[in-house]
Every structure is written in C-alpha cells, then in structure tokens.
Amino acid sequence: MKFEEMLKKRRDILSEYLKLSLKQRNCIENEELDRLLQVLDEKQKLIDEMDRMEELRGLDGEGGIIKEEILNLLKEIRDIEEECYSSLYEKYSELCREIKDVNVTRKIRSYGEMQGETGIFIDRKK
C-alpha cells in the first residue's frame, strides 16, 4: 500500500471513528447503555483495523494535506473522548453517592427495626 493510500485509509477510518465518538456522547447523555456498548464494539473494530495497518512513516514526506486532516480529526476525537470520559465519571460519582445514601438509609431502618415498632424518641406519656 502506498504512503498516500495509507494516509487516505487512516483518514477514512478516523472519520468513521469520529462519527462513532459522537454517537457515544449521545448514548451517554441519553443513558442508552446497550447502544453505548454496541458503539464501543464498533470503535474497537476500527482501532483493530488501524493497528493492522502499516505504521505511518516519514511524517515530513508526502500527503501534507491529508496528514493535516488526520491531525484535525485526532484533535476532535480527543476532545469528544475527554468529554465522554468526564460525563461517565460524573455519572459514576453520582451513582456512588446514591449507593452510599441507600446504604445509610438501610442502616437507619435496620437500627429502627432493632428498637421495635416504636421509635426511640417517642414519649408515650399522656
């Protein structure tokens, strides 16, 4: 495969990867976990395809415009991936807080059940 063809193929793969990254962001925003897993599988296939390609050599050589397009695609992909990571981390943190709150509530209920049906702070005198 010629250098120029290899650059074009890589650019095409990265363009598809960018589209998938945008889908990934939408899946995260809409909490569509099943679709998110499908998108991640598709992205992995593209990564595997790029890994199989011969490594780019001589970045100062031919294909200057295509290389510039590739660099722009990579920057855009990186930005979207960072945004997705931040969103997922935020959702993860929120979920951890909710789990902690549920555990605290369970402990409180459990303590109340150990004290019997009446609360420990109720004054039964009338």
Reported as a single tens digit per residue, the pLDDT across 47-74 is: 888 877 755 554 445 566 777 888 888 8
Neighbours of 70 (CB within 10 A): 19
**Is 57 part of any domain?**
yes
In a domain? residue 29: yes
Residue 20 lies in a domain: yes
* Domain assignment present for 98: no
Spatial separation of the C-alpha atoms in residues 96 and 102, rounded to whole Å? 10
The domain containing residue 13 runs over which residues? Answer: 3-81
pLDDT at residue number 60: 47
Identify the residue with better confidence: 108 or 23. 23
The structural domain count of the chain equals: 1
- The percent of residues in the chain predicted with pLDDT above 70, rounded, is 78
Runs of H (alpha helix) within the chain: 3-29, 33-52, 64-114
Q: What is the pTM of this model?
A: 0.63
15-35 average pLDDT score: 92
Mean pLDDT value across the chain: 81
Rounded Cα–Cα distance for residues 7 and 50 (Å): 11
pLDDT at residue 15, rounded to an integer: 93
Contact criterion met (CB below 8 Å) for 115 and 59: no
Instruction: Tell me what percent of the residues of the chain surpass a pLDDT of 90.
Output: 38
Say if 7 falls within a structural domain: yes
Query: Is residue 119 in a domain?
Result: no
Token output for 48: 């595997």
